[in-house]
Structure 1
Amino acid sequence: MESTLSGKVAVVTGASSGIGAATARELARRGAAVVLAARDAARLEALRREIESSGGRALPVRTDVARRDSVRRMVGEAVEGLGRIDILVNNAGLGLSGRVAEVRPEDLRYVFEVNVVGALNCIQEALPHMGPGGRIINVSSVIGKRSIPMVGAYCATKAALNALSDALRVEVAAAGITVTSVYPGTTRTPFRENSRRTGGEKRGWRPRGVPPERVALSIARAAERGPRDVYVRPLDRLFVAAVTLLPGAADRVLRAWAKG
């Protein structure tokens, strides 16, 4: 087991599966004590046993990030049990598919509550317990940089998270705390199947993507170094550069893709 994060305490939201679970394992492997935060208590307990059987330390806390009282209780248990918070990984998120003209406002409000307000709740509750060298890592998406058809509402939540990250990064710099935005592309997790759907729309083609462990490696390196932005693959960075430089061409390509 590596010890690059030995003595650090990390909170990982959305830790019950996918990127969150993989990140918790990787941070623990590097020596951090990990607070496992998610709504599925049984999965968190199973992950705790797995991490501790490998010599790590984990504290599972059932948490609904959209509820401020739940986040406050989770942070309180983390500080009481482990002494402080050095790293916060805002990974909890929910998808939403459907054309913008058809998205139900109540679905959009709920997904904003989880993806944006949930991250804000965690940031505001954790910050008073973080000192110089603290890391806040917000898991965004490349489609938070350029929205794509059929998931525009979800993209809006990631764009909002990016805006919060950019402002927060400047605001906490004098305290010695860094803010990293992580931009995964497609990842092989149950995320898509678990997302909310506006109606009976078909799930369109998408790239196979990378395993969650690869995203977790990028997050763990960010926890060590505190960079501004992290792209999981060069292809993800290339996508963002291309759609930024050639927005009209990107529109035409996405128009054709949306018809498929």
Structure 2
Amino acid sequence: MTRNVLIAGAGPGVSGSLARLYAAEGGRVGLLGADADVLAALRADVEGAGAEALTTVADLTDDGATRSAVTRMAEQLGHVDVVHFNPSAYREKDPLSLTPDELLDDVRLGVGALLSVVQAARPFMGPGGRVTATGSMAADSPWHGAASLGVQKAGLQNLVRSLDRTLADDGIRAVSVTVRGTLAKEGPFAPDNVAVALRAAIDQDETDWQAEVPYTG
């Protein structure tokens, strides 16, 4: 089954691997990201895999701009089968140096932008649609040195659960994949392997659906 996929927060790591994975299945891939050069490289990868790629530079912390970008891309795709949410902000500050404004800025990207993306994509999604998100063990095992990341990932996991329950009656499900390890260039936590786990999460049996799936490598 080929799918139209919209990836928000597209970059060279896990989201790039996921884009290539869906492209290899023949799906059309829409890429929203902050860096034009990175998006151009990903587009070349997707097209090299034989799939069509659409790219848009977008500041995901800007609600209006994000909604407009998602709507334009979804209109080009025609319909959206999978929305993948990937962004997070890494700020190396502990709770005694992190300011409330910095925390809110980071949460706006790592959690709040999910609302902008999904709400804009929803009119283009039907039964069988899926929302996925890149989660992290920081949600329940945070490192104090980057305190905002743990808050983001905990909030993301919680929000995905709420989205899943809200969308389930319409046949759309949401899931976050909690990466319980440190991303690395090689090994079980290499981006390509994490992408396989994210891709597999959408094929869960709906009768036993889990809105949070751990990936332990």
With normalisation by structure 2, the TM-score equals 0.90
Q: What are the superposed Cα offsets for residues 193-246 of structure 1, whole Å, 9 maximum, x if unpaired?
A: xxxxxxxxxxxxxxx972111111111112343752222225xxxxxxxxxxxx
Q: How many angstroms does 1:83 deviate by? A: 0.2
Unaligned runs of 5+ in 2: none
- For residue 220 of structure 1, what is the amino acid of its counterpart? R
Task: Return the match for 1:221 from 171, 179, 200.
Answer: 200
Task: Return the match for 1:188 from 184, 206, 211.
Answer: 184
- For residue 108 of structure 1, what is the amino acid of its counterpart? L
Q: Secondary structure at the match of 1:100?
A: coil
Q: How many angstroms does 1:187 deviate by? A: 0.7
Contact 1:214-1:232 within 8 A present in 2 as well: no
Q: Which residue of 1 aligns with 2:214?
A: 231
Q: How many angstroms does 1:133 deviate by? A: 0.4
Q: Which residue of 1 aligns with 2:126?
A: 131
Q: Secondary structure at the match of 1:15?
A: coil
Q: Judging changes above 3 Å, is the alpha-carbon distance between structure 1 residues 145 and 30 closer, same or farther for their aligned structure 2 residues?
A: farther
Contact 1:26-1:216 within 8 A present in 2 as well: yes
Instruction: Report percent identity of matched pairs.
Output: 27
Contact 1:78-1:84 within 8 A present in 2 as well: no
| 1:179 equivalent in alignment to 2:162 | no
Contact 1:100-1:152 within 8 A present in 2 as well: yes
Q: Aligned partners of 1:162 and 1:49: how far apart in 2?
A: 32
Unaligned runs of 5+ in 1: 190-207, 235-260
Q: Which residue of 1 aligns with 2:190?
A: 211
Q: Which residue of 2 aligns with 1:97?
A: 92
Q: Which residue of 2 aligns with 1:115?
A: 110
Q: Secondary structure at the match of 1:188?
A: coil
Q: How many angstroms does 1:170 deviate by? A: 1.1
The two structures, once aligned, show a CA RMSD in angstroms of 1.8
Q: How many angstroms does 1:120 deviate by? A: 1.5
Q: Judging changes above 3 Å, is the alpha-carbon distance between structure 1 residues 224 and 60 closer, same or farther for their aligned structure 2 residues?
A: farther
- For residue 232 of structure 1, what is the amino acid of its counterpart? Y
| 1:35 equivalent in alignment to 2:14 | no
| 1:65 equivalent in alignment to 2:48 | no
Larger radius of gyration: 1
Contact 1:218-1:230 within 8 A present in 2 as well: no
With normalisation by structure 1, the TM-score equals 0.76
Q: Secondary structure at the match of 2:55?
A: strand
Aligned pair count? 211
Q: Which residue of 1 aligns with 2:46?
A: 51
